[in-house]
Amino acid sequence: MKSSIWKIFGFLVLTVVLYNWIGYAITDLSGGKKDMSGAVEISPEGGETLYWGKGRCYTCHSLGGQGSAVRGPNHGQFGEKFPMPMGSRATERAIERTEKTGTPFTAVDYIVESMAEPGAYVVNGYKNEMAVVYAPPISLNLNEIKAIVAYLMVQGGDLDMEAIDTAPSEISTKLYSKIQAAQAAGGGDPGAGETVFEDNCEECHSLEGEMIVGPDLSTIGDKGIKFISESILNPAKSITPGFETYEVETKDGTKIVGLKTRDEGGEVDITKKNGDVVTVVQSDIKTISVDANASVMPEDLNEAMTVKDFQDLQAYMIMQKAEKKDGE
Ligand code: HEC
Ligand code: HEC
């Protein structure tokens, strides 16, 4: 009896020791890895490594005579088409962005925007096909993006590390937080997420401040990633006030389920899932009740999506913020 207790005790001690040792070994491993490839220095040199490496900028851009890609603008001074290298060109572009948006852009803001929201300003003569560099497969993190901004700024511009890193302007701060938000959403690609949205959600949700079947989602990003994913995975768990599911049974036995979108003059409108509106006369109603456990929004939307679709959708949703609309 006693000896078996000791055996168990011995086993426990051994388990704890082993567990700690494995823990150490793993920390050692990942720590070691970090030193080799992880943290990049936020400097023009760090940016140069990324530009011609992980960032894959060179697959579309050249820099002066370096590189041969022509899909995107040359980032150096090159021929008649590019009289100014990127650092000084950015100052000129910033003036255009200031005029267009009414918000004062700096050269750094312009370069940050080129990467954070490539579609916001498309260089004349090019297509809107710049990669989303903070989404897969490129997946640059914020520090890496800052390093590349520094690298592009030294191409004929003044390097101001404060404006890039420690004390960014209001515009850059907003763009940085958007990049971080998209990354927090599992590194999804908001561009691909737009397509997922069009395929699965647009029939019920507007991003322009309108009410279709479900609530407007033009500022849904402000509610945070957790709220968004819960709303998609489990719509009935917290039903948006004003969008409760009504069940109406008429005196002739017909059942109608949907949102109550009008209730006046002795009539009730029920908007069904498919957007059809059924008008019922108050006096024909036998029972009307709210089903607190059901949402008009389908429960199984995520089943039709791949994990990538879901991450891309989340990244697109998190970018729908009130402040983004102001900047446009
Ligand atoms: C898939 C091709 C592609 C990749 C990869 C790509 N870009 Fe671009 N980029 C473009 C195109 C096309 C444009 C022009 C259209 C536009 O303005 O969005 C552009 C525009 C730009 C501009 C604005 C240029 C100007 O003259 O005002 C900057 C800055 C920029 N890219 C930086 C980068 C950086 C940094 C990387 C790597 C981290 C990168 N790009 C990766 C295609 C790409
Ligand atoms: C058949 C219509 C319908 C479809 C399709 C639909 N929804 Fe909904 N959605 C609703 C309704 C109705 C509500 C409000 C009731 C609720 O909260 O469940 C809602 C609520 C939401 C909310 C919470 C909004 C808030 O402010 O509280 C989010 C987020 C959302 N939907 C996202 C999506 C996304 C993303 C998709 C596509 C994958 C989608 N919905 C597809 C009808 C729909």
Domain 245-291 top-level CATH class: mainly beta
Return the minimum-mean-pLDDT range out of 25-29, 47-51, 227-231, 260-264: 25-29
Average pLDDT in the 212-217 region? 93
Distance CA 189, CA 210 (A): 25
**Given the DSSP bridges, would you call strands 285-291 and 255-264 parallel, antiparallel or unpaired?**
unpaired
CB of residue 203 inside a 6 A radius of ligand 2: yes
- Spacing, Cα 185 to ligand 2 middle (Å): 18
Which amino acid residue places its CA nearest to atom 30 of ligand 1? 114
Distance CA 297, CA 240 (A): 11
Instruction: Please name which ligand lies nearest the alpha carbon of 129.
Output: 1
- Spacing, Cα 96 to ligand 2 middle (Å): 38
- Spacing, Cα 259 to ligand 2 middle (Å): 12
Instruction: Please name which ligand lies nearest the alpha carbon of 147.
Output: 1
Establish whether the linkage from the previous residue to 137 is cis, with ω within 30° of 0: yes
Q: Is the pLDDT of residue 15 over 70?
A: no
Q: Is the pLDDT of residue 131 over 80?
A: yes
- Residue among 220, 245, 297 to mutate when testing ligand 2 (max atoms within 8 A of CB): 297
Q: Is the pLDDT of residue 3 over 90?
A: no
Dihedral pair phi/psi, residue 121, rounded to 5°? -140, 115
Percentage of the chain exceeding pLDDT 90: 62
CB of residue 239 inside a 6 A radius of ligand 2: yes
Q: Is the pLDDT of residue 187 over 90?
A: no
Q: What does the pLDDT read at residue 16?
A: 55
Q: What does the pLDDT read at residue 34?
A: 36
Dihedral pair phi/psi, residue 67, rounded to 5°? 85, 170
Q: Give the atom of ligand 2 at the shortest distance from the alpha carbon of 227.
A: 29
Q: What does the pLDDT read at residue 57?
A: 96
Average pLDDT in the 268-280 region? 94
Mark residue 224 as left, alpha or beta (left: phi above 0; alpha: psi -120 to 50; beta: remaining): left
Q: What does the pLDDT read at residue 133?
A: 92
Confidence category of residue 306, pLDDT binned at 50, 70, 90:
confident
The pTM of the full predicted model, rounded to 2 decimals, is 0.64
Q: What does the pLDDT read at residue 29?
A: 46
Distance CA 273, CA 228 (A): 20
Strand order in the sheet with 285-291: 277-281, 267-271, 255-264, 245-250, 285-291
Q: Is the pLDDT of residue 129 over 50?
A: yes
| Residues forming a β-bridge with 317 | none
Residue whose structure tokens are 């907003």? 174
Q: What does the pLDDT read at residue 13?
A: 56
Q: How many CA atoms lie within 13 A of 2 on its CB side?
A: 0
Q: Give the atom of ligand 2 at the shortest distance from the alpha carbon of 274.
A: 1
Q: What does the pLDDT read at residue 40?
A: 82
Residues 6+ apart with CB under 8 A from 242: 215
Q: Give the atom of ligand 1 at the shortest distance from the alpha carbon of 133.
A: 38
**Average pLDDT, rounded, for the chain:** 87
Domain boundaries, the chain: 44-184, 191-238+300-327, 245-291
pLDDT digits (tens, 9 = 90+) for 74-110: 999 999 999 999 999 999 999 999 999 999 999 999 9
**Which CATH code for domain 191-238+300-327?**
1.10.760.10
Q: Is the pLDDT of residue 293 over 50?
A: yes
Residues 208, 212, 215, 221: what is their CA dihedral angle, to the nearest 10 degrees?
A: -30
CB of residue 213 inside a 6 A radius of ligand 2: yes
Three-state SS at 217: coil
- Residue among 89, 126, 130 to mutate when testing ligand 1 (max atoms within 8 A of CB): 130
Tokens matching residue 108: 């750094």
Distance CA 255, CA 232 (A): 26
Average pLDDT in the 117-138 region? 89
- Spacing, Cα 308 to ligand 1 middle (Å): 24
Q: Is the pLDDT of residue 204 over 80?
A: yes
